[in-house]
Structure 1
Amino acid sequence: MSIALVRNPGDGPAFRYYNTGVEQVVSTDETSGAITVSRLNMPRADAPPLHTHSHEDESWVILSGRVRFWIGSTSLATCDVYDAEPGAFIYGPRSVPHTLQPITETAEILQINNPGAVEGYFRAIGPADARADEEHADLLARYGVALLDHPPSV
């Protein structure tokens, strides 16, 4: 059952996804699947590979740091590249290839997925010192995520 809620920074449950600290601001269970919102404390080295989502749209709000986004093509080399500063809003519709990487050492990012569900993937992977996305391709596929190219390196 969805409920209205107010959650201040640090009030949501925390976990690690690879080397990124995640606070679950709003879970898919709390919104009857409508949305999931996560606060990411992402280090530069934890960038995901270029990928698409077929189940949800994804948006980001940059809270601190600077973040580079690659959007719109199946190869990093041919994507449009955007640098986002604190306060920036970025929208990634489902099926549009994208990835992101902090330009600063770390960035705090509010990540919004609608409808919600992909948080189950992040929790299933848990902490790790280095990304190994290709090893989880079957699990990613269950969440509608397809890998297209390697992670960026800034």
Structure 2
Amino acid sequence: MKDVLASPLAGQLLSAAGANLVIAEWTAEGCEEGAEPYWIAPLHLHREDDEAWYVLEGTLGFRIGGQIIEAKAGDSVMVPRGTAHTYWNPKAEPARYLLIMTARINELIQSIHAASDRSEEAMRKLFEQYEAELIGWY
């Protein structure tokens, strides 16, 4: 059952065929102290999908609505549908985390990575195709 087990998960996606749940383990590189953060995602919202993170190592910063938080190893973060959010690694050391998302969010991420036109207009249209809204870079 290759599509129900990923061992190790690092760098892979885990999602069974036809499932609406996808789990990814990713690493976010750190930033130098005082430098602008590297935004992992632009400020956006998903109209119909919830999204969650579990920090395995390091720290992730989040903007969720008007709130800024830092999640450290062992912390979980949930963003309900309709809530504007973005995230980044605010520390110098890498952060390793799980992203728990719907199949639609995963398809959006894959489409963003595959897009040849990365203009703001093209990205806004792409987000709309996946019931999401690109608000902009924080």
Please state which band the TM-score falls in when normalised by the shorter chain: 0.7 to 0.9
Query: What residue number does 2:34 align with?
Result: none
1:111 partner letter: L
Partner-residue secondary structure (3-state), 1:48: coil
CA distance in 2, matches of 1:118, 1:37: 11
Normalising by structure 1, we get a TM-score of 0.70
Gaps of 5+ in 2: 31-37
Alignment equivalent of 1:83, drawn from 57, 67, 70: 70
Gaps of 5+ in 1: 12-21, 73-78
Report the CA distance between 1:52 and its aligned residue. 0.5
Find out whether 1:101 has 2:101 as its counterpart: no
Alignment equivalent of 1:146, drawn from 128, 133, 138: 133
Alignment equivalent of 2:49, drawn from 53, 56, 70: 56
May I ask how many residue pairs the two structures share in their alignment? 127
Measured against aligned partners, the alpha-carbon deviations of 1:85-122 in whole angstroms (never above 9, x if no partner) come to: 011011111101111111124321211113x2221222
Measured against aligned partners, the alpha-carbon deviations of 1:42-66 in whole angstroms (never above 9, x if no partner) come to: 2352422211001310000011111
CA distance in 1, matches of 2:88, 2:6: 26
Percent of pairs identical after alignment?
A: 23
Query: What residue number does 2:99 align with?
Result: 111
Query: What residue number does 1:23 align with?
Result: 12
- Note the aligned Cα RMSD (angstroms): 2.7
